[in-house]
Amino acid sequence: MGDLLDEYRRQKRIGLEGNLYHKTQIELAYNSNHIEGSRLTEAQTRQIFETRTIDGPARIDDVWEAANHFRLFDLVLDTAEEPLSIDLVKRFHRTLKANTDQALSDSIYEPGAFKTLPNEVGGMLTVEPEKVAVCMDDLLSSYAETRKTFEAVIGLHHRFERIHPFQDGNGRVGRIIMFRECLANDIVPFVVRDDMKAYYYRGLSKYDEEPGWLLDTCRSFQDDFVARFLPLVPHVKPPRAG
């Protein structure tokens, strides 16, 4: 485990505003939720994190999912030493979707449960529901046996999104796993920015034929993280870049 993970944990305990932990919580939650259609502004997301209140109109589920994302990031920090497992991935999903309309309804959207109906990402069909458990087991088993490089983490993310194991929330769970695996393996983590989502989606859709598009897009996110986040912790040894 790297110095950056230790610093995130230290700052979480301190609870001060304006530090690396504070900035990461807000930008991760805002961007990842906004990519999936949240209407919250970054200022509203910040307000929810800092004061547990919100000004202006907002959808209830958007508020819940912002608050849940903050808890999800804390869970990632708390479990970074644990091997990535199906049970842990399901726990991430339960945390993200808790108390939403989907969670409270008697429907197919049970938090922490694999999908029961086909779904798609970027217009492409994903793994059939009956094959999800086997595919996820194969994905996590093969990933556990690899050397944890930047390329391995991005490959994990691509395969996770092609499986799309949950009925909803796959993108957000997949992106927080990607952040976790970078952080846990002393690789520069990054925030997938909403204003770059077209390049991110293109990279995912074209990964099989040209993985460089997604890798380069994520490297640009790493560059952004190094430029804007790491100066907040100049005493921390920088992680490895991609």
Catalytic residues: 164
Q: What does the buried/exposed string (b/e) look like for 34-50 if buried means 16 or more CB atoms within 10 Å of the residue's CB?
A: bbbebebeeebbbbbbe
Q: How far apart are CA 153 and CA 1, in angstroms?
A: 15
Classify strands 120-121 and 124-125 as parallel, antiparallel or unpaired.
Answer: antiparallel
Residue 153 assigned to a binding site: no
Residue 109 assigned to a binding site: no
Cβ–Cβ under 8 Å, residues 203 and 214? yes
Residue 172 assigned to a binding site: yes
Residue 169 assigned to a binding site: yes
Residue 200 assigned to a binding site: yes
Residue 201 assigned to a binding site: yes
Known binding positions for ATP: 168-175, 200-201
Known binding positions: 168-175, 200-201
